[in-house]
Structure 1
Amino acid sequence: MKVGLIVEGHGEVRSLPILLRRILRELDPQHHCSILNAHRVSRGLLVKEEGLRPAVELMARKVGPEGRILLLLDADDDLPCQLGPSLLAQARGYRPDRDISVVIATREYEAWFLTAAESLRGRRGLPLDLAPPLHPEGIRDAKKWLGQRKADGYSETVDQPALTGLFDLTAARRSDSFDKLFREVGRLFGLPVPPR
């Protein structure tokens, strides 16, 4: 079985395949699937038909009839509970013959790192006493928050994939949007997901 990924950010191109493999290993260490290279479309296009439709069509062809498609983007200032269902309805309208999931990270992907900040203490230049902010998904610029605490700043294309391989998945499930991703991966592959 193949899974195609559609993302908006440069960092997610490398990060989401890592994260998907980690979640699948946690849900079922014996599960095997082919994770295709992520297809990046700018957010400005991805939230419009002229960007979403070709991306979904491309991934539908690549994954084949039994494949899965996962679309991940940052909410920024949009409400995930509105943006996600809207994009999902459109994507499924374009390709009702494919199993598609849409996950919207509240604010941004890096908010998941903030939620699980304790697990990143002393890693990749982060301080040994790193603690999550009170409302990690309320931080408007999680990249900046990380960069202010990292000795050499934060680089989305370098640090995001590295931190994706390190942060504690269980702790990150305190984030509603990360828990949604976890549950959607389980649903896409027919795997049971333990409660958080």
Structure 2
Amino acid sequence: MKVGLIVEGHGEVHSAPLLVRRILQELAPASSPSILTPVRVARGQLIKEEGLRSAIELMARKVGNEGCILLLLDADDDLPCVLGPKLLALARGFRADRDISVVVAKREYEAWFLTAAESLRGRRGLPDDLTPPAAPETIRDAKGWLSQRMSDGYRETIDQPALTSLFDLTVARRADSFDKLFREVGRLFGLSVPPRP
């Protein structure tokens, strides 16, 4: 089955396929999905009906009749529980013939790294005593939080894929929006997903 990813950030172009593969590796180690190169669309366009329609139509053609589509974007100041269902309803309205999921990271993708900060201790220039902040998904600038603690600062296109390959997925499921992603990947592939710890 082909999986088509639609993302908003430059870092997610490399990070999102890696993350989906890591989740699938945990859920079904023998799986070997065909994850297409993500289509990147600016957030301002994705949250508009015409921009979303264009992205969904393009990816629907790429994945074919048996494929599925996963849209991943940051909430920023929007509520994921409002923005996600709204975008999902629109997307399914455009292409009811495709299995589509929408996951909205609360605040931003990097909040998932903050949630699992202890698993990143001593990695990528982060301190050996790194601890997660209280309520990581409420931090407005998770990239800035990381940058302040990394010896060379945080560079999205370089550090996001690297940290994606390192952070503890189980611990990150403490973040509601990451748990949603974990469950949606399982659903798209028809896999049983254990409850989060």
Paired residue for 1:56? Answer: 56
Amino acid at match of 2:177: S
Note the C-alpha offset of 1:53.
Answer: 0.3
Q: Does 1:17 align with 2:14?
A: no
- Paired residue secondary structure (1:62): helix
Note the C-alpha offset of 1:111.
Answer: 0.1
Q: For each residue in 1:157-186, what CA deviation from the matched residue of structure 2 results, as whole angstroms up to 9, or x when unmatched?
A: 000000000000000000000000000000
User: Structure 2 stretches of 5 or more lacking a match?
Assistant: none
- Paired residue secondary structure (1:69): strand
Q: Does 1:43 align with 2:43?
A: yes
Q: What pairs with 1:71-82 in structure 2 (closer than 5 Å)? A: 71-82=71-82
- Paired residue secondary structure (1:101): strand
Note the C-alpha offset of 1:49.
Answer: 1.3
Paired residue for 1:131? Answer: 131
Two-structure CA RMSD over aligned residues (Å): 0.4
Q: For each residue in 1:35-81, what CA deviation from the matched residue of structure 2 results, as whole angstroms up to 9, or x when unmatched?
A: 00000000000000121001000000000000010000000000000
Amino acid at match of 2:41: V
Paired residue for 1:190? Answer: 190
What CA distance in whole angstroms lies between the structure 2 residues aligned with 1:30 and 1:135?
35
Alignment TM-score, normalising by the size of structure 1: 0.99
What CA distance in whole angstroms lies between the structure 2 residues aligned with 1:93 and 1:33?
26
Paired residue for 2:178? Answer: 178
Amino acid at match of 1:9: G
What CA distance in whole angstroms lies between the structure 2 residues aligned with 1:32 and 1:60?
20
Note the C-alpha offset of 1:8.
Answer: 0.4
What CA distance in whole angstroms lies between the structure 1 residues aligned with 2:11 and 2:76?
15
**Misfit runs of 4+, over 2 Å:** none
- Count of residues in correspondence between the two structures: 196
Paired residue for 1:110? Answer: 110
Q: What pairs with 1:93-104 in structure 2 (closer than 5 Å)? A: 93-104=93-104
Amino acid at match of 1:150: M
Paired residue for 1:84? Answer: 84
Q: What pairs with 1:158-173 in structure 2 (closer than 5 Å)? A: 158-173=158-173
- Paired residue secondary structure (2:134): coil
What CA distance in whole angstroms lies between the structure 2 residues aligned with 1:22 and 1:191?
14
